[in-house]
Amino acid sequence: MRLRIGRTGASAATAGAFLAALLAVASCTGPVPPDAVAVGATPNPTGTPAAGPSGTAAAGPTGSPSAMPARVPDTLRFTGTTLTGAAFDAANLAGRPVVLWFWAPWCATCASQAWTVAEIAPRYRDTVPIIGVAGLGEQRAMKEFVTEFDLAGTPQIDDRKGALWKRFTVTEQSTFVIIDRDGRVVHQGFLDGEALTARVGALAGA
Sheet containing strand 175-179, edge to edge, reads 156-158, 130-134, 98-103, 175-179, 185-189
- On whether the CB atoms of residues 137 and 165 are closer than 8 A, the answer is no
Which residues pair with residue 59 across a beta bridge? 65
- How many other C-beta atoms lie within 10 A of the C-beta of residue 112? 13
Where do the domains of the chain lie, and which CATH numbers do they carry? 74-205 (3.40.30.10)
Q: Which H/E stretch holds residue 102?
A: strand 98-103
Q: Which H/E stretch holds residue 132?
A: strand 130-134
Q: Which H/E stretch holds residue 157?
A: strand 156-158
Q: pTM of the prediction?
A: 0.67
Give the span between the Cα atoms of 138 and 80, in whole angstroms.
16
Per-residue pLDDT tens digits of the chain, which is 206 residues long = 444 434 444 444 444 444 344 334 333 333 333 333 333 333 333 333 333 333 333 333 334 444 567 899 999 999 999 999 999 999 999 999 999 999 999 999 999 999 999 999 999 999 999 999 999 999 999 999 999 999 998 999 999 999 999 999 999 999 999 999 999 999 999 999 999 999 999 999 86
> For strand 185-189 and strand 175-179, is the pairing parallel, antiparallel, or unpaired?
antiparallel
Give the span between the Cα atoms of 175 and 188, in whole angstroms.
7
